[in-house]
Structure 1
Amino acid sequence: MKINYEDDDKVEVPMSPLIDCVFLLLIFFLVTTMMKKWEKQIPLSLPSSTSSLSTVQSGDQPIVLSVDERNRIYQVVNVDAYSGEGTYVPITDLSGFLGQLKQKYGTEIAIDVSAYRTVAVDDVINVFDACQIAGFDQTRVRLGSKPPSDELQ
């Protein structure tokens, strides 16, 4: 007796699950490429180690602004070059303070925004925005020590 196997053993791959997978991958890649555009909206240029050393060696000390957890802004004066600690002077009007800096030094002076690790990023970005609106281009961020909030209330 002869059995015909050709007609019964045709194996087919169902196409509808494959099409679903392709559409899901397409959506995934479209969403991830859109996220890359959102991440690039804040331009951040970090200084090289040689540029920060040349600023300290040339005698032009940057203006150091410190932000605490309560969004209070301080100017750090008498900064030690190695430890980064100094005396904290509260700033009540940031735009007025930046205007005075602009009149006294011009916009070529470097401004370092020092923030402790528990400070919200929005607070630091607001200080960066204020510096940019005032015309300062050399604004940098650095990890700073925690301001003595208890003494300055």
Structure 2
Amino acid sequence: MNRSSLNRIRRTRTDAEPVTFDFAPMVDVVLLLLIFFFLTSNLSTSRSSVPLDLPRASSTVNDTPQIPTVSIDERGQIFLEDRQVTAAQLERALPELVKTSGGVVAVRADAKGQYGQVVTVIDVIKRAGGERLALGARQP
């Protein structure tokens, strides 16, 4: 290419319309990302409102929202989801929940709680058909 053809190319670029950037698709993508992160951060929190001081574990996995959660507080009180129940009430309520969750039940117990109550709850879960337990713990 010689100099005159380069000058002609440069002139045609300056004579053409200026290049513009359309921000609308970028705003849409950013908005969708924000919605995605808000929803996923909301789902990753525990559903139970029972205040517990969970023990620490070096490796933890977040609870799956579809599985029933049994909580045991410091005083040994049992909660199915957010409702306080006795061991007998838990045994009556769990079989249907265990069927829908595929045999998985989450157990959350206070670190200062009564170990005997935890064993009682695990025994009730096993009798109700629970095949797998997900034990709740805090990340270090």
Which of the five TM-score ranges fits, normalised by the shorter chain? 0.3 to 0.5
Report the TM-score when normalising by structure 2: 0.46
* TM-score between both structures, scaled by the size of structure 1: 0.43
Q: Looking at both structures, which has the greater relative contact order when contacts are Cα pairs under 8 Å and sequence separation is at least 6?
A: 2
